[in-house]
Structure 1
Amino acid sequence: MRFGIIGTGTVGRTLAAKLVALGHEVTLGSRTKDNTAAVSWADQSGPNGHAGTFADAADFGEVVINATAGTVSLPALRLAGAERLAGKVLIDVSNPLVFSPTGEVSLEPVNTDSVGEQIQREFPETRVVKALNTLSAPLMVDPGRVPGPHQLFVAGEDPEAKALVRGVLEQFGWPGDQIVDLGGISAARGTEMLMPFWLRLMGHFGHTDFNYSIRSAD
């Protein structure tokens, strides 16, 4: 399968490397074709790894992954182009974290909206699935870093899109019974709001190899 990844940070490069290792073809997209991180990654990734612009990645991918910071996701996806995203599954991994000069963390948007919902509204012909935004990049692609059962969450309006994303997550090593479908894209509000708490947990543990393990009586 062909994937286009919007964003060249740690999350984007980690997902890209895993997908290439699984035999998929990936274009890692940035604002410019000569982005050092993207070009370096592509040079080291063999024939299935490519670098390009946001538009190149969106055009290339059968599935597109938004791995930008949530506060800049909409401008980045506008550069990718609505016409290139139309009809495609877009996995939104972003979180709208805002850091104050004193280090305090807030979210924008929050409570009554989410980045996942904003993307779905602005790109109504794109099938947006919120996923992978509640844990660290290494754990996204290697769930065995944390022992025992622990969960991932998905949200979106299109059942077929969520089924496709579930299949990708299972390729990453996530057991199907640990992938929790929270329903429509409005559930992204809750998963995005977990991230300030996640940052507190990171400070407590001193590392990022942890995740949520939720148990039900039934």
Structure 2
Amino acid sequence: MKIGILGTGNVGRTLAARLVELGHDVVIGTRDVAATEAKAEAEFPAPLRTAPEAAAHAELVINATGGQVSVAALQGAGAENLAGKVIIDVSNPLDFSNGFPPHLAVCNTDSVGEQIQRAFPDARVVKTLNTVNAEIMAYPAKLADGDHTIFVSGDDADAKATVTQLLREFGWLDIVDVGDITTARGTEMMIIQWVRLMGPLGTLAFNYKLVR
């Protein structure tokens, strides 16, 4: 599959490496390719392109930008390049402006997933992977042999089926469809508890397990 990843940070790079490993045709989108290459501390696992080029290349787009800038970043990629495509949104609207612990810039009555869907009504947004760190997103089997839960939210059943298949390629076993895109409010709010658990647990390699 042709996949464009928007976001050059740890999440974007980790997902890109995993997708390349799985045989997908991956490019990473950035505002300024030369500037991104100049400040990079290591090589990128997939070619860098401008955001519009990455989105135009893709059959599926992954938003790995910060939640507070996600809509703007996707607008920079061009609505015409996103129309009809699946957008996987892995972002969280964490606001560290007042230090730690962070608060959510969006919550309760809205979510970043919903904001993206409203801004790009011709795209098909699926919220997932935002409740774990980058390494577990890409390699779930590294934790408890994969015996833990990931959530999926979105309005389009076919888009969720496409994303679920990709998650299974990563190695996710317990994938829970929690409903339409408004259910992203709940999974985004889960990240506040996740952040507070980092200290007591002393690790980033943990996740929730839904028992039913």
Q: What TM-score bracket applies, with the shorter chain setting the length? A: over 0.9
Residues 1:14 and 2:10 aligned together:
no
Partner of residue 51 from structure 2, selected from 23, 37, 54: 54
1:158-169 equivalences under 5 Å are 158-169=156-167
Cα-Cα RMSD: 1.4
| TM-score normalized with structure 2 length | 0.95
Q: Distance in 2 between matches of 1:23 and 1:213?
A: 29
Contact (CA 8 Å) 1:13, 1:41: kept in 2 or not? no
How many pairs were matched up? 209
Q: Distance in 1 between matches of 2:159 and 2:211?
A: 26
Contact (CA 8 Å) 1:39, 1:51: kept in 2 or not? no
| Deviation of the 1:54 alpha carbon | 1.2
Contact (CA 8 Å) 1:29, 1:38: kept in 2 or not? no
Q: Distance in 2 between matches of 1:102 and 1:190?
A: 23
Contact (CA 8 Å) 1:92, 1:116: kept in 2 or not? yes
Tell me the amino acid that sits aligned with residue 190 of structure 1.
Answer: G
Q: Distance in 2 between matches of 1:134 and 1:38?
A: 26
Deviations 1:130-151 (A, max 9, x none): 0100001000111122115210
Unaligned segments of structure 2, at least 5 residues? none
Q: 1:39 to 1:163 in 2, by over 3 A?
A: farther
1:88-103 equivalences under 5 Å are 88-103=85-100
Q: Distance in 1 between matches of 2:205 and 2:131?
A: 12
| Deviation of the 1:40 alpha carbon | 5.1
Partner of residue 114 from structure 1, selected from 111, 115, 134: 111
Contact (CA 8 Å) 2:101, 2:196: kept in 1 or not? no
Deviations 1:67-95 (A, max 9, x none): 00000001100100000000000000000
| Deviation of the 1:103 alpha carbon | 2.0
Contact (CA 8 Å) 1:38, 1:52: kept in 2 or not? no
| Deviation of the 1:112 alpha carbon | 0.3
Q: 1:123 to 1:39 in 2, by over 3 A?
A: farther
Tell me the amino acid that sits aligned with residue 154 of structure 2.
Answer: G
Q: Distance in 2 between matches of 1:40 and 1:10?
A: 11
| TM-score normalized with structure 1 length | 0.92
Q: Which residue of 2 aligns with 1:197?
A: 193
Unaligned segments of structure 1, at least 5 residues? none
Tell me the amino acid that sits aligned with residue 110 of structure 1.
Answer: C
Deviates more, 1:147-156 or 1:65-74: 147-156
Contact (CA 8 Å) 2:28, 2:47: kept in 1 or not? yes
Contact (CA 8 Å) 1:150, 1:212: kept in 2 or not? yes
Q: Distance in 1 between matches of 2:169 and 2:183?
A: 24
Q: Which residue of 1 aligns with 2:152?
A: 154
Q: 1:168 to 1:38 in 2, by over 3 A?
A: farther
| Deviation of the 1:33 alpha carbon | 1.7
